Chain A
Amino acid sequence: MDKIIETKNLTKTYLMGDVAVHALRGIDLSVAPGEFLAIMGASGSGKSTLMNLIGCLDQPTSGDYFLDGKNVNVLSKNEYADIRNQKIGFVFQGFNLLSRTSALENVELPLFYDRTRRVENPKQAAIDALERVGLRDRTDHEPSQLSGGQQQRVAIARALVTQPSLILADEPTGNLDTKTSIDIMAVLQDLNAQGITIILVTHENDISQYAKRIVTMRDGLIREDNLVENWRNAKEDLVNFNGVEE
C-alpha cells in the first residue's frame, strides 16, 4: 500500500542551555492516503513536535521522514516552504488568522506564495474554499467579526485553498465549545470523505472518536496505535445535539 507519510526512528532533541529535552525519542509512523488519524497523549508527550516535523515546519534531529515517498530531510529551506504551500494545510488551536484582514484575503494568502501559479483565479478559489466550509456569506468579515467556530472554518478554508493532500490540525477544537467542536469535526470528516488525509492532535477522547485511527504518545514515543472500528459521524451527532438542545 502507498504511504503518504512514513517516518523512521524520528527523534527531536531540544537543547535548553546544558539540558537536552528529548521531545521525540524514535517515532515510526506510517499513514496511508485517505486516513483520518488522531494523535493523543499527555501534555508534553511530543504531539506538537511531531506535527511540526510532519508539516515541514521543523527538521528532525535524526531519523528519516518520507512524504509521498520522497525523503524530505535532504531538502532546502525553500523546498520546505514550497511543500508547506503545495502539499500541506495547517489548522491551529489559536486559528492564526491575519487580524484586520477579511476572511477572503486570509484564505487567499497561501495562493500569494504559490510559485506554480496553478490557480488561475485566486479570489474565486478562495470563495470556493469558503463555500466548502459553509462561510460563503462571510467573505468580507474580519476575524474580530467572526465567532471562534467561524474563525476556525476560515482557517480550514485557508488550509484547503491550495488543494493539499494532507491537512494537519493541532488541537483545532481546543478553544471551542462542544457543539462548535463537533461542527468543526464534521467539516474535517467531510474533507476526509473527499479523499484528504487528516492528522489531528487532540486531548479530548470525545473528539478522537471522530477519527478512523488513534495513535497515543507518551514521553516522545508512540505507545498505542489502534484503528477505530465504529468511528462516530459528526454530522449525525450534530443533529442529535441540536435535538437535545431544543
Chain B
Amino acid sequence: MLQITNLLKAAFKSIQKNKMRSMLTALGIIIGVAAVIVMVAIGKGASARIQAQITSLGTDLLMIRPSFSNRGGVNMGAGSFNRLTFEDVEKIKEQATLVKAISPMVRSGGQVIGGGKNWSTSINGVASEYLYIRSYELQSGEMFTERDERSSKKVAVLGKTVAEELFGDQDPVGEQLRINNTPFTVIGVLKEKGQSGMGGDQDDVILAPAKTVLYRLKGGQYIDMIYVSAISKDQIYAAQQELTTIMRAAHRLQEGEDNDFDIRNQADIIDMASATTKTLTILLGSIAAVSLIVGGIGIMNIMLVSVTERTREIGIRLAVGARSSDILTQFLSESIVLSLVGGIIGTLLAFVVTFVMRKFTSFTPQIYPATVILAFSFSAIVGVFFGFYPARKAAMLNPIEALRYE
C-alpha cells in the first residue's frame, strides 16, 4: 500500500486543480449533511420541549378516561363508551389510599359575555383540587369550595387570558358573566401559566364546578375525565393499580372483561408524545437523507466525468508503474476527501443555521454529537459508495489505450 498521507496529499492536489468544480460537487454533500443535521435537530428540539412541558404538568399525575372497547362483546351504541360518572369520583375518594387529590373534568365551551365584551373559550368543569393537580395558582379572589360544587353554584374562576380579554386591567372578581346565557359570578382569577406542551394557551380557560358545567351548560350525565394526583411519584404505578381495582369494582366488571376505562400516567403520555416526535424526526431526517444521496450521485457524476477527462493521466500513471489498485485508491480517496470536506462544511453550516433559527424563530433545534457523527459517517459512506464505481472504471483502464486517448 502507498502511504495514506501521500494519497491524501495527491487527492487534495487534484481537487485543488479543479477548485470550482470540486466546490460545486461538495455543495451537494454540504447541503445534504447540513439538512440532515438541522432536520434531526429540529425534531429533537421539539421533542425535548414537549417532554419538558409535559413533565411540568406534574409527574404524579394520572388521568382516567373512558375506553372505547365494547363491554362483554355487546355494542352499546353510540356514546355508550362515555362511562365515567361522579359516582366513580366518589368511590375513588372513599376507597383510594394512594391518592392525594382528585378532580373530575367536564369539558365544555362557549360564548362568554362580560365586562361589555364577548369571548369564546373553553369551560372546564372541575373540583377545587384541580388547582393543586395542575399546579395553577390564584392571582386574585378565591377558588370555589366543595360546598359550591355540591350545590352546583354558578361561580367561575377565570384564566388570565379570559380575564384580560373581557375586563382588561380591571380586577373581575365579583363581576357578572354570561356563559351561553347562563349567569355566573366571577370569584377568582388564575395566575398566568403560558403555553402547554401541545401549543395551546393554558390561560384561555374558565374553571367552574363540575356539576354546574355538566348540568347547567353541557347536559348529560357523564364526565369526560378524572384527574388524580398520586401521593408520590414513586407510588404512581401502585396508585394506577389501585385505581384500576376500584374502577373495575365500581363498573361491576367481571373477571376476563376488558376495562371500559383507561388510566394513563405521565410516563405514558411522555412516551406517546416522544413516539410522535420520534416519527417526525425520522421523517424529517429521511427527507434530508435523500438530499445527501442526491449529493452522492453528484459526486459519482463528477468523478465519472473526471475519469474520462483524466484518461491520459491515468495512462501515464500506469506507464510509470502504478498498479490498478493504486488508481482505484487514488480516485476513491478523491471522492472520500470531497465528501468529508463537504461533511465538515455541512456540519458547520448546520451549526450556523440552528443558531440563527434559535435566535429568530420559535424552533428550538438541538444538535447532538450522535447526529453529527451519524451525518458525518453517512457522508463518508456516500463518498465510498458513489466514488467506487468511477474509481473502478479508472482502475480497469488499459494503459496503452489510456495513453493514446485524446
Among the stretches B139-147, B262-270, B291-299, B316-324, the one at the interface with A is B316-324
Residues of A close to B325: CB separation below 8 A: 78
Chain A contacts with B in 44-62, Cβ cutoff 8 A: 52, 55, 57-58
Does B359 belong to the interface (CB within 8 Å)? no
Residue of B nearest to A106 (CB): B316
Check if A112 is an interface residue, CB within 8 A of chain B. yes
Chain A proximity of B172: nearest CB distance (Å): 81
Could you tell me if A110 and B312 are in contact, using CB atoms closer than 8 angstroms? no
Q: A90 contacts B323, CB within 8 Å?
A: no
User: How large, as a class, is the contact surface on chain B?
Assistant: 20 to 34
Dominant SS among interface residues on chain B: helix
- Whether B323 and A78, one on each chain, are in contact in the complex, defined by CB atoms closer than 8 angstroms, is yes
Question: Does A112 lie within 8 Å of B2, measured CB to CB?
Answer: yes
A86 to B403, CA, bound (A): 19
CA distance A112 to B151 in the complex (A): 96
- Closest B residue by C-beta to A77: B324
B321 engages A96 (CB within 8 Å): no
> Is A66 an interface residue when CB atoms closer than 8 A count as contact?
no
Closest to A98 in B: B313
Closest A-chain residue to B325, C-beta based? A78
Contacts between chains A and B (CB distance < 8 A), count: 60
Q: Among B312, B321, B403, point to the contact of A81 (Cβ < 8 A).
A: B321
Which A27-72 residues have C-beta < 8 A from chain B?
52, 55, 57-58
Enumerate A93-127 residues with CB–CB distance to B below 8 Å: 96-98, 100, 109-110, 112-114
Q: Do the beta carbons of A114 and B323 come within 8 Å of each other?
A: no
Asked whether A90 and B320 contact (CB < 8 A) given A52-B400, A58-B400, A113-B326, the answer is yes
Please measure, in the bound complex, the distance between the C-alpha atom of A82 and the C-alpha atom of B323, giving whole angstroms: 8
Whether the Cβ atoms of B323 and A96 lie closer than 8 Å is: no
Q: Which of A52, A77, A78, A158 contacts B320 (CB 8 A)?
A: A158
A-B residue pairs, 7 tightest by C-beta: A85-B321, A110-B320, A81-B323, A113-B321, A84-B321, A113-B322, A78-B323
26 A-B pairs (CB sep. < 8 Å)? A57-B318, A57-B319, A57-B403, A58-B400, A78-B323, A81-B318, A81-B322, A81-B323, A81-B324, A82-B321, A82-B323, A84-B319, A84-B320, A84-B321, A85-B322, A90-B319, A90-B320, A97-B316, A98-B313, A98-B316, A100-B17, A112-B2, A113-B317, A113-B323, A158-B320, A162-B321
Interface residues of B (CB under 8 A from A): 2, 6, 10, 17, 312-313, 315-326, 399-400, 403
Residues of A within 8 A of B (CB): 52, 55, 57-58, 77-78, 81-82, 84-86, 90, 92, 96-98, 100, 109-110, 112-114, 158, 162
